[in-house]
Amino acid sequence: MSKIIISGHGQYSIGLLNAFHMIFGETTDIVAVPFLKGEGIPQLQAKIATAVDDFKTEESILIMVDIFGGTPYNAATQWIYDKPEMDVISGTNLPLLLEAATHLNENDIQQLVSDLLTAVPETVVAFSEKMQAIKTQNDEEEDDLL
């Protein structure tokens, strides 16, 4: 079973995990590791190491961060560089975290990441585009009736 560490700037990871718990329920397979003001890469890497140790697992661990190239991303990628059972993805949002939680039974980290990258386009939706698609579908259905 895979585990997940969420990290991001400020209280982002804590807020994201709290929102996740409201929808999905409590789980010990996902933890938040915030990157707080005044901290640097070494402090964040130490917190990531503690979270990994707390999992007490040899299974795969995915670190989900807020921004590609940000300090949480850089700290995580440097820390996991030689750990093939771990990976990092950026652009984390609540729908993506919920999707990840449904794949925790996959111990293959590459498959988990692949599944999440496939799901990414579905996590951001524009209301206007959805409404236009419905209107177009309705117009086509009306044309079929004529």
> In 10 A of CB 118, how many CB atoms?
10
| Catalytic-role residue among 9, 15, 57, 99 | 9
d(CA 40, CA 21): 28
Element (H, E) at 145: helix 127-145
Q: Is 103 a catalytic residue?
A: no
Question: Which of the residues are catalytic?
Answer: 9
